[in-house]
Amino acid sequence: MSTATAAIEGDGIESGRSQPQINVGVLGATGTVGQRFITLLSNHPWFVLHRLGASPRSAGKKYREAVNWKQANAIPSSVREMIVYECKPEHFSECAIVFSGLDADAAGDIETAFRAADLCVFSNAKNYRRDPNVPLIVPFVNPSHLSIIPQQQSLLSPPLSKGFIVTNANCSTTGIVIPLAALERAFGPLELVLVTTMQAISGAGYPGISSLDILDNVVPHISGEEEKIEWETLKILGGVSESDTGVKSFDMHARHPLRVSASCNRVPVIDGHTECLSVRFARRPPPSPQQVREALAAFTPDAKALGCPSAPRHTITVHEEPDRPQPRLDRSYQDGAGVNVGRVRQCPVLDIKFVVLSNNVSIGAATSSIINAELAVLKGVVPT
């Protein structure tokens, strides 16, 4: 296979590493998440878009004929004439990695079939997030959870040598666990997190919520969202423990129990989830707001240190202005691959409170899956 040097200009980072060109496919390629995958992968330095999958009604069509394109940029020229295939493993046999942008209604059985065909599946769907042998990874937080993949492979019948499923988190969870992980790294365990979200309408997919329901309105309920934040945060921030018999499991932050309480709201913003957090630290005295700002700004995860080409230069951008971050002003910084934090201040009830903005269609979705795959390649989890 030919090689390419991973380098992203501007706000990205230069890895200085050479990686083989890797054929990848996208499932659910005509949907909004699939479209974002295609936008990001069309110029990726390692991953080559080799196959597109969608529903049977789209199969056999050129991509430009099958898709109702909803991205701000045009369909990449390299993709326009590609033929769309059904989401069946035999059509993707030349792909080392498959990214799934499928809706949850379809994702379960299809992703299972692709894994059984010994393909590496990186999924944005929710179906396998609770599976005790499937890592739920936010790439800047817990790439060490990739270590459970050999157990996932060995427990299947028949056991697999290459295939697996890795999921990324719900978009609202992703935004908060990145600063929470930075704080735990700097100051030790957290005891309590209260979060109130103001979530963009794009998080509901297309066509999403009715304009008559969201314009001039705030909807104080998103089905299943609060529960996702409350348990996903524990799985992501927890470690992987191993029993005396060698069986690995996620400890769900059990070594120092963390309680999370979430309240979720849909607001009339197109892209960008804003989340207001209050946290209590186990340590006494707790860190000061200035110490928290410095720790957030200095956070350097493995994805950046290892040289993932899609990792942002600044994982967490800390704003000093009293009215930032704002979705319209800050969601596109670094192409939405990092998170923005502002209004760091003392909390009179807990210890510290602050505001987080994350781009739900970028780091909250396809970008996370792509960086997860980059990490898996660099760590040797994906054969190249």
Q: Which residues are tagged catalytic?
A: 171, 273
DSSP 345: E
Residue 176 near residue 277 (C-beta atoms within 8 A): yes
Task: Tally the C-alpha atoms within 13 A of residue 81's C-alpha that lie toward its C-beta.
Answer: 2
Helix, strand, coil fractions of the chain, as percent rounded to 5: 35, 25, 40
Residue 196 near residue 186 (C-beta atoms within 8 A): no
Q: How far apart are CA 115 and CA 108, in angstroms?
A: 11
| Angle between helices 171-187 and 289-298 in degrees, nearest 10 | 110
- Categorise residue 104: left if φ over 0, alpha if ψ from -120 to 50, beta otherwise: alpha
Indicate the SS3 state at residue 122: strand
Examine residue 309 and say whether the peptide bond preceding it is cis (omega within 30 degrees of 0).
no
Examine residue 20 and say whether the peptide bond preceding it is cis (omega within 30 degrees of 0).
no
DSSP string over 145-209: GGGGHHHHHHHSSS--SS-EEEEPPPHHHHHHHHHHHHHHHHH--EEEEEEEEEE-GGGG-SS-S
